[in-house]
Every structure is written in structure tokens, then in C-alpha cells.
Structure 1
Amino acid sequence: MTNEQPKNPLHGITLETVVTRLQERYGWEELAQRVNINCFKSDPSIKSSLKFLRKTQWARDKVEALYVSTFSKNDPWEKSR
């Protein structure tokens, strides 16, 4: 079995990159409106969001889906750090 995932738009993109780019694009307030989770509403930070999303698969799925729909038309490596 190979580790390549050519059809996975998130392949090679870390969760930290996902959250950071969404926060840069939308800001915490709009991000909380788009994905209704407390880590985006109550004293949000990248660190607290990552901690929550790593433990909570349904929330991570929503955040990753938002990332894909937001950046799917762009090169996924654009602005990556």
C-alpha cells in the first residue's frame, strides 16, 4: 500500500495550516459563524483550536470541509508556511 493520496485535497497539509489559513481568511468571528464550535467563539486561539479539533473528529471534519471549499480553486501550497 502506498502513502500517496492524489485525490485527497488535504494530503500534505497540516491541521495547523488549515486552522491558520481559515483564521487569516475569515477571522475568528466569521469562522465561528461558519463552523459553530466553542473553540472559535470563546477566547479563540490557534493552540486551543488545534487541541479541540484533534480530539473531536466531527468538528475537524467540518473545519477541513470548509478549508477544501474555501481554497479548492487555489493552489494548496499558495501562502503555505
Structure 2
Amino acid sequence: MNNQLHGVTLEAIVTRLQEHYGWEQLAQRIEINCFISDPSIKSSLKFLRKTPWARTQVEDLYLATTF
């Protein structure tokens, strides 16, 4: 099994997506409150670690994005 996310932390994923898209574009792609209302890496990580469906969406966007 080849896991493309092996060794990539959730923090690295969120940081890279935020740098690439910005909070506003990220919120348009994945409509979750931690990207919409007063977004920060810390608040996003806290939410995503407790919310598997949202984390999956973020990981999928990361894998689909060509940096």
C-alpha cells in the first residue's frame, strides 16, 4: 500500500494549503468554519484532529493540488 501522505504532518498540510490558496480560497474549496471565521493554523488543527470527515477533505485537496 502506497500512502502518499506518509510522513506528512497535518500541520504541514494545512500550512502548505494556506500558503498556496489563502484562507478565503481554502474556505471556498472546503466550507468549514475554522477556515471561514477567524482562521488560524492552530484553530484549524484543533478542529481537523477531532473531525475525521473534514480532515479527509483537507487531505484530499492536498493530494489533488499541484504545488
Work out whether the TM-score is over 0.5: yes
Give the superposition deviation at 1:66.
0.1
Equivalent residue number for residue 44 of structure 2: 49
- Alpha-carbon distance, 1:50 to partner: 0.1
Aligned-residue offset at 1:60? 0.1
Number of equivalenced pairs: 67
Report deviation, 1:44: 0.1
Q: In percent, how many aligned pairs have the same letter?
A: 72
Q: Which amino acid aligns with 1:51?
A: K
Query: Is residue 27 from structure 1 mapped to residue 22 from structure 2 by the alignment?
Result: yes
- CA RMSD of superposed structures (Å): 1.1
Normalised TM-score (structure 1): 0.80
- Give the structure 2 partner of residue 16 of structure 1: 11
CA distance in 2, matches of 1:48, 1:24: 16
CA distance in structure 1 between the partners assigned to 2:61 and 2:4 by the alignment: 12
Name structure 1 gaps, 5 residues minimum.
Answer: 75-81
User: 1:35, 1:56 → 2: CA distance?
Assistant: 13
Q: CA separation in 2, counterparts of 1:8 and 1:31?
A: 23
1:54 is displaced (CA, Å) by 0.1
Kindly provide the CA deviation profile for residues 6-35 of structure 1, in whole angstroms up to 9, marking residues without a partner as x.
x11100000000000000000000000000
Normalized per residue, the structure richer in helix is 2
- TM-score normalized by structure 2? 0.96
